[in-house]
A and B are shown apart, each in its own frame.
Chain A
Amino acid sequence: GDSVTQMEGPVTLSEEAFLTINCTYTATGYPSLFWYVQYPGEGLQLLLKATKADDKGSNKGFEATYRKETTSFHLEKGSVQVSDSAVYFCALSANAGGTSYGKLTFGQGTILTVHP
């Protein structure tokens, strides 16, 4: 079935450091890929998405590129801030025929802590 594998955390960085959180997936066909962020005490918010190969999603300085050849969707940010401290979830939603059809399959989540 469909699955998402995220790099294990937690990740601890100093402010202005470069961030990469790795995400790879297994799915049939061409799923849509998402990064969601969850701040403490809140629900999930969509950070960015990509719907086809080579698409780049971007938002708030974060970027991720849909790489079908490596089945990856790694999240990057050039300079993190303290306010970026949160849990980040990679997720996919498959097209018809996939086990993720009509729902999101999440990775395990990566806790990011950014220190001043």
Chain B
Amino acid sequence: AQKITQTQPGMFVQEKEAVTLDCTYDTSDQSYGLFWYKQPSSGEMIFLIYQGSYDEQNATEGRYSLNFQKARKSANLVISASQLGDSAMYFCAMREVLGNNDMRFGAGTRLTVKP
């Protein structure tokens, strides 16, 4: 069964600095998608970035980039130039192409950006 691990329950970063949120996953499938979502205190889930298992380049979306290391089964989220509004919970998720169609989420990392 697929499993998503986020080892950092909480992280602090200084405003304007970069931060890396860790995510490792476990799957025996070759084809899968990896996603990162942000959940601010208001509760909604906001899609940030996607990486396909066959994508050769690391995904980037504005200040977000994904450090994808397939052999290590890791998909770390890098946020550059942190802003106060980045303070939120961040969830890593995976979905297998041949799987049950469900998306599995990690436990999340709470990021706090300090002014």
Q: Do A and B come from one complex?
A: no
Query: Using a CB–CB distance below 8 Å, which chain A residues touch chain B?
Result: none
Query: Using a CB–CB distance below 8 Å, which chain B residues touch chain A?
Result: none
